[in-house]
Amino acid sequence: MRKLLEVENLVVHFETNGGLVEVLDDVNFTMHAGEILGLVGESGSGKSVSALAILGMIRRPGRILAGSIRFEGVDLLRLSEDEMSRYRGRGIAMISQSHRTALNPILSAGRQISRLFEIHEGCSRAVARRRALELLDLVGVADPAQRMQQYPHQLSGGMCQRVIIAMALAASPRLLIADEPTTGLDVSTAARILDLLGDLSKKTCTAILLITHDLGVVAQTCQRVAVMHAGQLVETAPIRELFRFPAHPYTQALVRAIPRIDIEVKLEPVPGTIPSLRHPPTGCRYQNRCPQVMEICRHDKPAQVAVGQDHQVACFAFGEHRDAAA
Amino acid sequence: MTPLLEVEGLRKSFALTGPRTWAARLRGERPAVRAVDGVSFAIAKGETLGLVGESGCGKSTVARCLLRVIEPTTGSIRFAGEEITALDGRQLCNTRRAMQMVYQDPTAALNPRLNVRSTIEEPLRLHFKMTPAERRERLSAVIAEVGLGADLVESYPHELSVGQRQRVNIARAIAAHPSLVVLDEPTSALDVSLRSRIILLLEALQKRLGLSFLFISHDIVSVKYLAHRIAVMYLGVVVEEADSASLFAAPRHPYTRALLSSVPVPDPDFRHERLVLNGEIPSPTKAYDGCRLRSRCPLAKAACAERVPRREVAPGHHVLCHFA
């Protein structure tokens, strides 16, 4: 499969008054055209910052120290602001976390979408309006002509989210970043939004980077998963593999922490808390929460090793590291 | 045994005003949002009742009416055998000591200018005549109870993590020895691992202190872990009520089944038998004769337009549906 996005050795720091915060530490992952990749981790693990970095939206006091982000072979980090803005919307689009504040309250839903056609493609107002109507229909808005005239405060949360998805799709991006698209929505609305994202990805061949803290969401939507902890990528695996053989102790803990409706299990929260990224521990950042911590974890950073088909894990308990530790 | 809390026929409507309602008012109508339209339930001592439903179904309005934060339109609320809808002044204050609330947004619920100590001591100052030493003692007891570090008492909300803030909220709620705590979406703003932690904490607190909970949430999975009984609300009415085990084993109302079938399951091979409701929640301003779900329900028939009786389909399992 063609590689759409390659993130390599990405390091992002934030320089704050309280000192240097090492938000992303050597993050690597790739995405193929048309696939849905889940990016999972607790709050504060660097998921959203990764998304912002891909869009070239890390602003002061944040700084990208090292790494490359290649989108269709072009290193986005080497582009000027003008060149980058040509990729936003057309190449990569984003659905942000809060669906209320992502819409302009003084423009009607239809106008927010049709404007994009005027900006991106220079359409006339009438053509743009017609295309906005088609797009609302595509994202499953019933009676789109009437909805076009309504303002964000007249729409329900789920409806707002559909409008935002329509806006993100306006310029037919190849990659759609969905940052917690269902947080704050009811379960039934959330389920329908996730179904919609899955359908759209199939219909329009758009790749989706789905950022979430909920492995349940991932299981029903994604093809592959990348798990992040405290700014480090700890495991990537195809979806079935991840749930059947979670390798990293953090992934295992995350899987156990989900309240389940289908079976009776005891709740086991992930032990400990995310370490402060101001002075993160040297070595593996999961060391102080890990039940299987070894001496080597406290000094060296584990590299990604393959433990199965397309399944990588950064943990000393696997591969040749294990022999080195023994 | 009489239950700790008994709610009967609770209604709350909010009158609509403004230019759009002029025409209706000229016709002699009084347009209103019927947020809660006849809700009855009871909670025993040491029991958790889960109140589940989508946003806009009236769950939080029920909670607010119970605590008399807003005044119910009609209905009766008996707490510890006493009718509290008519209380005021000192008596109402005393009742509220015994009924506390934890809110959804742990950050917005805390005063940013009060540190943990002042936040938790506030209800103590309000409800008891305590010496500073007694207050300090109660403070450290409560803090230990919710699993906060004693070193955090001088911290301000912005210095705490979200999980710690929610613990402070819970500590404040239990500080004055309440017998009922209303939990309004206490886990919705938290990520998965924090959510399980707070659920475990609440469970432990209930066992140790013998508290009763009204647990309000749209997240039916969290409710499953805490609630002994569950009431499912839709558009201002309770459509199904049962003990937790039988509700999950055999949900009867189509709305309950739709809710359950949309919960994400962390197993890629699991496929729900999806029961999808069409469209969106209709406007709560209309008066309804028949079933409120009928415009969205895949099972709707002509009979659904008539008044729906509340039927007991199994011992303690009530459903508001002709066909369930």
Q: For chain A, what's the residue count?
A: 326
pLDDT value for A127: 94
Distance, in Å, from the CA atom of B259 to the CA atom of A82, rounded to the nearest integer, reads 47
Contact across the interface for B266 and A273, Cβ inside 8 Å = no
Residue A245: other Cβ atoms inside 10 A: 14
Out of A214, A217, A262, closest to residue B270 by CB? A262
Nearest Cα residue to A32 out of A236, A219, A207, A178:
A207
Longest dimension (CA), chain A: 70
pLDDT value for A1: 61
A213–B contact, CB cutoff 8 A: yes
Out of B192, B224, B270, closest to residue A257 by CB? B192
Residues 6+ apart with CB under 8 A from A272: A288, A289
ipTM: 0.83
**Chain B interface, best mutation among A100, A220, A278, by max B CB count within 10 A:** A220
Chain B residues in contact with A239 (beta carbon < 8 A) = 268
Contact across the interface for A192 and B279, Cβ inside 8 Å = no
Q: Is pLDDT at B246 greater than 80 in this prediction?
A: yes
pLDDT value for B172: 96
Buried residues in A129-165 as b, exposed as e (16+ CB within 10 A)? bebbbebbebbbbeebeebbeeebeebbbbbbbbbbb
Cis geometry, peptide bond prior to residue A275 (ω within 30 degrees of 0): no
Residue A101: other Cβ atoms inside 10 A: 11
- Computed on alpha carbons and rounded to an integer, the radius of gyration of chain B in Å comes to 21
B224–A contact, CB cutoff 8 A: yes
Average pLDDT over residues B29-57: 90
- Going residue by residue through chain A (326 aa), what tens digit of pLDDT does each one get? 679 999 999 999 999 888 899 999 999 999 999 999 999 998 889 999 999 999 999 988 899 999 999 999 999 999 999 999 999 989 999 998 777 788 999 999 999 999 999 988 889 999 999 999 999 988 888 888 989 999 999 888 888 999 999 999 998 999 999 999 988 788 888 888 899 999 999 998 999 999 998 888 999 899 999 999 999 999 999 999 999 999 999 999 999 888 888 888 888 888 888 888 888 899 899 999 999 899 999 999 999 999 988 999 999 998 766 655 54
Please name each of the domains of chain A with its CATH number. Answer: 3-91+171-325 (3.40.50.300)
Confidence of residue B62 (pLDDT cuts 50, 70, 90): very high
pLDDT value for A284: 92
Q: Are B66 and B77 in contact (CB under 8 A)?
A: yes
Segment B208-245, tens digit of pLDDT: 999 999 999 988 888 999 999 999 999 999 999 999 99
A233–B contact, CB cutoff 8 A: no
Out of A220, A258, A262, closest to residue B192 by CB? A258
Confidence of residue B51 (pLDDT cuts 50, 70, 90): very high
CATH domain B5-113+179-319 topology:
Rossmann fold (3.40.50)
Segment A57-116, tens digit of pLDDT: 998 889 999 999 999 999 999 999 999 999 998 999 999 877 778 899 999 999 999 999
Which amino acid does the sequence have at B29? E
Distance, in Å, from the CA atom of B169 to the CA atom of B93, rounded to the nearest integer, reads 19
Out of B161, B248, B259, closest to residue A188 by CB? B259
Chain A, residues 151-180, CB within 8 A of chain B, namely 156-159
Contact across the interface for B262 and A254, Cβ inside 8 Å = no
Instruction: Tell me what percent of the residues of chain B surpass a pLDDT of 70.
Output: 100
pLDDT value for A226: 97
Contact across the interface for A261 and B224, Cβ inside 8 Å = yes
Q: Is pLDDT at B48 greater than 90 in this prediction?
A: yes
Domain map (residue ranges) of chain B: 5-113+179-319
Chain A residues in contact with B261 (beta carbon < 8 A) = 191
pLDDT value for A151: 93
Q: CA-nearest residue of chain B to A215?
A: B266
B126–A contact, CB cutoff 8 A: no
Kindly report the pTM of this predicted structure.
0.89
Contact across the interface for B218 and A186, Cβ inside 8 Å = yes
Q: Are B72 and B65 in contact (CB under 8 A)?
A: yes
Exposed / middle / buried, residue B73 (Cβ in 10 Å: 0-12, 13-18, 19+)? middle
Chain A, residues 22-81, CB within 8 A of chain B, namely 42-43
Distance, in Å, from the CA atom of A255 to the CA atom of A186, rounded to the nearest integer, reads 22
Out of B54, B192, B281, closest to residue A213 by CB? B192
Contact across the interface for A187 and B218, Cβ inside 8 Å = yes
Chain B residues in contact with A227 (beta carbon < 8 A) = none
Helix (H, G, I), strand (E, B) or coil at A224: strand
pLDDT value for B219: 85
* Strand ranges, E, within B146-247: 180-184, 212-217, 229-234, 237-243
Distance, in Å, from the CA atom of B25 to the CA atom of B81, rounded to the nearest integer, reads 40
Exposed / middle / buried, residue B272 (Cβ in 10 Å: 0-12, 13-18, 19+)? middle
Out of B200, B248, B280, closest to residue A267 by CB? B200
Contact across the interface for A258 and B269, Cβ inside 8 Å = no
